[in-house]
Structures are given as structure tokens and as C-alpha cells.
Structure 1
Amino acid sequence: MLVPTRSRSLDADVADLGLGWDDLGDGYWRRSPPEQRVAGLPPEQVLSAFPPEQRVAGLPPEQRVAGLPPEQVLLALPDDVLRALSDSYLDTLSAETRAAIRARVGR
């Protein structure tokens, strides 16, 4: 799509689609697909362009939590699993983690 001018709403629509703009000069612009915009960039820069939930999409659960401290891995568990944790186990966790779990499971 070639456009002579860009509006805020058009920019927002293009961004929502994960597209960008190529400046063709003389005030003309062309949509560019994401893979064209990130070609040649290091992986860290490519990933930084996506929200966290898209960065891990398609990864198996063990890779999603790789590198997290054990208490952070607990917070990635479903609420039903957190409800099954005993009070004596919860007492071994940091106050911050206990509070986060209790807020989620209501106890």
C-alpha cells in the first residue's frame, strides 16, 4: 500500500498488524512486513520488539521458566496447583511469594 500521508489511526492500524513503514522519499510511504524490518538485526533486538507473551509463544513450559528462581517458577503454576500446596510448605517461602500465592488462591 502506498500512501501520500499517514494519520495516527493508520499508524495504529499498521502497528497492530505488526507492520512498519518504509520512507520512499518525497513524502510517500509503503507498509513493510515485520520480517523485512528486522532483517539483519541481532536476535536480542528482534525479541525486544515483541511483548513478553509473544516472545515465549510456542516454547514448551520448561523453556518458558528456564532461568527463573524456584519461587518465581511456583508463581507460574496454575491456581489449582497452588491451592494444593500445604501451609507448612508456604511457610518456607519468602513473604513476598507467600503473599502473591495467597492473593491468587484466596487463603
Structure 2
Amino acid sequence: MQVPLEITFRGLPHSDAVEGKIREKTAKLEQLCDSIISCKVVVEAEHHHQHQGNLFHVRIDLSVPQKQIVVSRDHHDKQAHEDVYVALRDAFDAAKRQLEAYIHR
């Protein structure tokens, strides 16, 4: 990656474990495609739910030559993510699928 990975936490404290998981999943994307220019990941917790715990929103912005890949997974999607690791897994799986589609073009 030409630009260092950017990780932002909003509405929750910084977590070394979550950051480590993000770095691990980003490294796997880099193995898939070595032309990634930059990657920005935002992990956000929403606290305003009476019947559920915190819901997590993950956004991934990948820059590759001639394309910007954006993945956004939040509570408006098919399933709410009460577990930050599940939200990360789903977001990075979607990013991988989009990256594979980019490579095959």
C-alpha cells in the first residue's frame, strides 16, 4: 500500500484487539491485490437503542488504480451487528468480493 492504513474509532474507545483484526484483514486484501493505493477503515458504535446493545457500523474506503471501492455495513443492512468482529468480517468480506470483481475486469 502506498499510503499507510488509516483506522478511526467513533463512539467507542480505541481497541488494540480490534485494530489488530483490521490490520490482519487488510493484509489479506493486500495479498489478493498488490495495487491497493490506500485503505481507510472507520468503526462506529451507535448507542441509542433501547431494546438492543450497541450496534456497529463499519466503513471501508479502498483506493485502487482508476477505482474507489467503498463498503459500508451498518444497522440498516439485513442484519444488525451487535458484535464489532461480525461487523468487521462482513464488511471485509464485501470488500474482498468487490476487489475480486475489480481484478477480474
Q: Which TM bucket (shorter chain)?
A: under 0.3
Structure with bigger gyration radius: 1
Q: Which has the higher contact order (CA 8 A, sep 6+)?
A: 2
TM-score by length of 1: 0.19
Bigger fraction of residues in helix: 1
Bigger fraction of residues in strand: 2
